[in-house]
Amino acid sequence: KNDKLTKHIPILLVSALGQNTEDRVKGLNIGAEAFITKPFDTAELISQ
């Protein structure tokens, strides 16, 4: 997100972790546009 050449690329975190709110908030605070936990629904992934 700090590089002008790549900052436009969206970051989606897909993880088996992150079942608690703290993990999800931490991921979003570091710059992710979405934090999706496994098992994830394909429609949810595409919509993010």
The predicted-structure confidence for 5-34, as pLDDT tens digits, reads as follows 988 998 888 888 767 888 888 888 888 888
pLDDT of residue 23: 81
In a domain, 3, yes or no: no
pLDDT of residue 18: 63
* Structure tokens, 7: 């900052």
pTM exceeds 0.75 for this model:
no
Domain count, the chain: 1
| Residue 40 pLDDT level (bands cut at 50, 70, 90) | confident
In a domain, 18, yes or no: yes
* Structure tokens, 38: 């496994």
In a domain, 1, yes or no: no
| Residue 43 pLDDT level (bands cut at 50, 70, 90) | confident
In a domain, 4, yes or no: no
In a domain, 43, yes or no: yes
In a domain, 23, yes or no: yes
Range list of β-strands (E), the chain: 12-15, 34-37
Domain residue limits at 23:
12-47
